[in-house]
Chains A and B, each alone.
Chain A
Amino acid sequence: MAAFNHPNSPIRVENLSMAYDSFLIMRDLNFSVKRGSIFVVMGGSGCGKSTLLKHLVGLKEPAKGRILYDDLDFTACDIEDRKTVLRRMGVLYQTGALWSALTLLENVSIPLKEFTSFSANEIDEIARLKLALVGLKGFEDHYPSQISGGMQKRAGLARAMALDPEFLFFDEPSAGLDPLSSRRLDDLILELRDSLGTTVVVVTHELDSIFKIADDSIFLDTQTKSVLDHGNPKQLRAESPHPAVRSFLTRGGDSEKEAHTI
């Protein structure tokens, strides 16, 4: 179960309400993410998962409530503090969002150039290593438009990992990937947590992926516009008091299928 106000929870969300203009999307969200854990935000399509992610990374301002990074109010702090927090995070967007005018190597190098004091050679080495980690060795000088969607996503991950961030955010990481690539991505996410102790927040509705990687999760519900349940997805699948959550996690409540999913 998610621990509220735990000292070991670097990301805390308190009474967060999200809205587009006057259209309320979610109200009074409360949850916290433990350090070095993989936290999954799940829910049906269009329930506001991606919007929540946009709030967490500062692309949208909350209608109400606070988002705290190590007790620093991310949404109300001044611009310099905010930049410091931003430098501690990496974001992988749904489509990769690579800078299309730059080669893959330049894409990965830019954060390094901006925020480290490495020499040009070192930056080059690090950027090549990151691209190799996501299996894109040899594509350093390609432009994003010259590679496939799945590769763009992996390159996006290489860029997000460039500065070895403490927090990594993934927006629908397996969307548009073939089963093998998506599994490799899951393995990579687990590896990042285990080897570097990265805190990972993943927005997804891929069940295989959820059961494989999640330590903790919340389920967003459109009807009540709030968190319907939270906890480890495997436990939720078996024990959640909410039929909507159980049915989501079992692909519609089929007990036979339940036995097959991991």
Chain B
Amino acid sequence: MQGELSKAGGLSDFYRIEAIEDRFLEIQLQGAWNSSAQLPGRDQLEQQILSLQPKKLFFNCKELSSWNSVLVVFVSEIRRIAKQNSLELDCEQLPQGVSRLIRLSEAVPENEEARFQDYHDSFFEKVGRESVKTLNAGHDLLEFFGRIIVVSGQFLRGCARYRAVDIFRNIQETGAQALPIISLIAFLMGLILAYVGAVQLTQFGAQIFVADLVAIAIVREMGPIMTAVVMAGRTGAAFAAQLGTMKVNQEIDAYQTMAISPYQFLVFPRLLALCLMMPLLCVFSNFIGIFGGAVVARYHLGISWLQYYTQVQSAIGVPDISLSLIKAFVFGVVVAAFGCYRGMRSGNNALAVGQAATSAVVSSLVLIVILDALFAIMTGVWGI
């Protein structure tokens, strides 16, 4: 009987099993047993051997030219089959190295405790475990916000310890360096809104109200939202990744054992920088967005710059701009806090840092949208 090994094509057969005499089985190994050798499946091999009803197994290695651990695996498999079916196995003929490797692999017995047990929880156990997890996560988040509030209080009283240079560096990273991407997004956002409005308003001959539409939509909604979305993807993820990596490197432990609070030293400068920069970025984004609308109004609808400008002036007032700034500030807190929170709670490996960055972005986006809806309802009710 011949081993079916050459599935990949072009490969020679690596072994033969031949019955000799009375229920003696010779396993003839041949050729080069290297990584291109394909092993037969466990069951297939077992079937091949047992179908001949042997009593004793031999190896014949006369035609074996070279080998590596593939052969060791194969021989171990035969040993297992022999042991399970109480067959005699003669390994004398095997290359000495193979026997030595097998002995080495069996030198340290299996650690039964080390294997992971399969848990089959009941439905209620799962619900219970998940509830406890969620509750703990909520508790943890509250603790984090508590710490942020304490640190902010210490800052206001002037007793927080941090490096001023960290604040300035973060301001540069979260503020100035974000301008190009914010400009692009805001400009296109204004452009898109103006086009969408123009199609509808032209039907009524009310093209001039494109200015109102763009100004109100940008200042009250799109400006703060788009800035926050960009900052969540840009800065929130960066905060989480920075702090997560510091955690992996034990840098955060090093702060703690030096009695320096990482919340004052690492979290606070980031939080402050983003909370200062978000309203400024939002104002900038509002201007660019309105300008984007103006470009469409001027070249697509033929409205003059001045007409557009006066129309915008009459459309938005102090309440709209204040709303815009407040929203930007709140979103800034959300993005910075979640970025830092996920970073500080990151696990201790590369995968966990990636997850921290992802969940920083996802949770801040979700919260931003929810808060924006709340703002919309509140301003609607109060008629702002």
Genuine A/B complex: yes
- Give me the interface of A with B, judged by CB distance under 8 Å: 54, 57-59, 82-83, 86-87, 89, 91, 93-95, 97-100, 110-111, 114-115, 159
Instruction: Judge if B140 is at the interface, Cβ distance under 8 Å.
Output: no
A57 touches B259 (CB 8 A): no
A114 touches B253 (CB 8 A): no
Q: Which residues of B contact A114 (CB under 8 A)?
A: 161, 258-260
Give B254's nearest chain A residue, CB to CB.
A97
In chain B, positions 249-265 with a C-beta closer than 8 Å to chain A are 249-251, 253-260
Q: Which residues of B contact A54 (CB under 8 A)?
A: 253
A86 touches B251 (CB 8 A): no
How long is the Cα–Cα vector from A180 to B253 in the complex, in angstroms? 28
Minimum distance in angstroms from A30 CB to a CB of chain B: 23
Instruction: Judge if B19 is at the interface, Cβ distance under 8 Å.
Output: no
Give 11 pairs: A residue, B residue, CB < 8 Å, sorted on A.
A58-B256, A86-B256, A86-B258, A91-B257, A91-B258, A93-B253, A98-B254, A110-B260, A114-B258, A115-B259, A159-B254
Question: Which applies to chain A's interface (DSSP): helix, strand, loop or mixed?
Answer: mixed
Give the size of the chain B interface in residues (CB under 8 angstroms).
14
- Give me the interface of B with A, judged by CB distance under 8 Å: 161, 245-246, 249-251, 253-260
Give A80's nearest chain B residue, CB to CB.
B259
A59 touches B253 (CB 8 A): yes
Q: Which residues of B contact A95 (CB under 8 A)?
A: 249-250
Minimum distance in angstroms from A40 CB to a CB of chain B: 20
Minimum distance in angstroms from A156 CB to a CB of chain B: 8
B250 touches A87 (CB 8 A): no
Minimum distance in angstroms from B339 CB to a CB of chain A: 16
Q: Which residues of A contact B253 (CB under 8 A)?
A: 54, 59, 91, 93, 97
How long is the Cα–Cα vector from A87 to B257 in the complex, in angstroms? 8
The 7 closest A-B pairs by CB, nearest first: A97-B250, A86-B259, A83-B259, A97-B254, A91-B257, A57-B257, A93-B250
Give A56's nearest chain B residue, CB to CB.
B257
Q: Which residues of A contact B260 (CB under 8 A)?
A: 110-111, 114
Q: Which residues of A contact B249 (CB under 8 A)?
A: 95, 97, 100
Known: A87-B259, A91-B258. 12 other contacts (CB 8 A): A58-B257, A86-B258, A86-B259, A89-B257, A93-B253, A95-B250, A99-B251, A100-B245, A110-B258, A111-B260, A114-B259, A115-B259
How long is the Cα–Cα vector from A87 to B259 in the complex, in angstroms? 6
Q: Which residues of B contact A86 (CB under 8 A)?
A: 256-259
Q: Which residues of A contact B251 (CB under 8 A)?
A: 97-100
How long is the Cα–Cα vector from A157 to B352 in the complex, in angstroms? 28
How long is the Cα–Cα vector from A62 to B121 in the complex, in angstroms? 29
